[in-house]
């Protein structure tokens, strides 16, 4: 059975994983007859956002612990990820990808990528195994890979400019559409980088998962 490793970045769109994207990705993986394990870096969350007001809250949280909410407790630290044991690596979106897995939200093209995240990506590339990225998470691949890799985050001009500045190629996409880079076996879709409904998120997640399975 095909095995996915899904990397989360917390719990909640404004400071962690986009929950709809994560859950619908997991649903699509099982629907297509594959299985998954969930990972997250064991690090402090950059900050905590009140998801009603959008204001920062005076508390601290851990990315692994918060991600465990989505994983129903079945989760491992990302530093334990072994690419030999998995066929596909998948990153849902949410601001956590740009705040916790990387510093893109604050540093733009000069961002740093979490060491465990970068190691997991490079390990899959070395083994010629496919990688999927939803929403804002393709910026991580632009930073780690560059080299003209084809990616999409939809149509946001500022983010497109940043992706190009990091050496990647951007393809504009609409709801549910995927962009596939043949050289690196990377599949991306825009999801909530567009003004999307939950069924459109499900379509994008399903299309990415189906293409990734084809590539195994």
Annotated catalytic residue within 135, 160, 179, 209: 135
The sign of the CA dihedral 24, 25, 26, 32 is: positive
Annotation marks residue 111 as catalytic:
no
Residues 6+ apart with CB under 8 A from 195: none
Cβ atoms within 10 A of the Cβ of 31, count?
A: 12
Contact assessment for residue 184 and residue 145, using Cβ atoms and an 8 Å cutoff: yes
Residues 6+ apart with CB under 8 A from 56: 47, 48, 49, 50
Give me the residue label for tokens 């986009």.
18
- Residues noted as catalytic: 135
């Amino acid at each position: 059975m095909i095995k996915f490793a899904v990397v989360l970045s917390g719990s909640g769109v404004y400071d962690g994983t986009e929950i709809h994207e994560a859950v619908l990705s997991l649903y699509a993986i099982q629907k297509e007859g594959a299985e998954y394990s969930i990972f997250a870096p064991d690090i402090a969350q950059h900050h905590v956002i009140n998801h009603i007001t959008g204001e920062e809250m005076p508390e601290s949280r851990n990315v692994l612990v918060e991600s465990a909410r989505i994983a129903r407790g079945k989760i491992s630290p990302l530093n334990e990820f072994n690419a030999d044991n998995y066929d596909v690596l998948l990153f849902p979106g949410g601001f956590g990808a740009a705040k916790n897995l990387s510093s893109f939200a604050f540093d733009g093209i000069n961002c740093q990528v979490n060491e465990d995240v970068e190691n997991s990506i490079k390990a899959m590339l070395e083994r010629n195994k496919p990688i999927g990225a939803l929403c804002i998470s393709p910026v991580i691949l632009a930073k780690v890979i560059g080299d003209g890799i084809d990616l999409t985050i939809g149509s946001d001009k500022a983010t497109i400019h940043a992706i190009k500045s990091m050496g990647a190629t951007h393809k504009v996409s609409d709801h549910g559409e995927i962009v596939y880079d043949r050289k690196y076996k990377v599949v991306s879709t825009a999801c909530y980088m567009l003004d999307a409904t939950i069924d459109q998120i499900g379509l994008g997640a399903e299309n990415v998962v189906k293409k990734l399975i084809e590539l195994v």
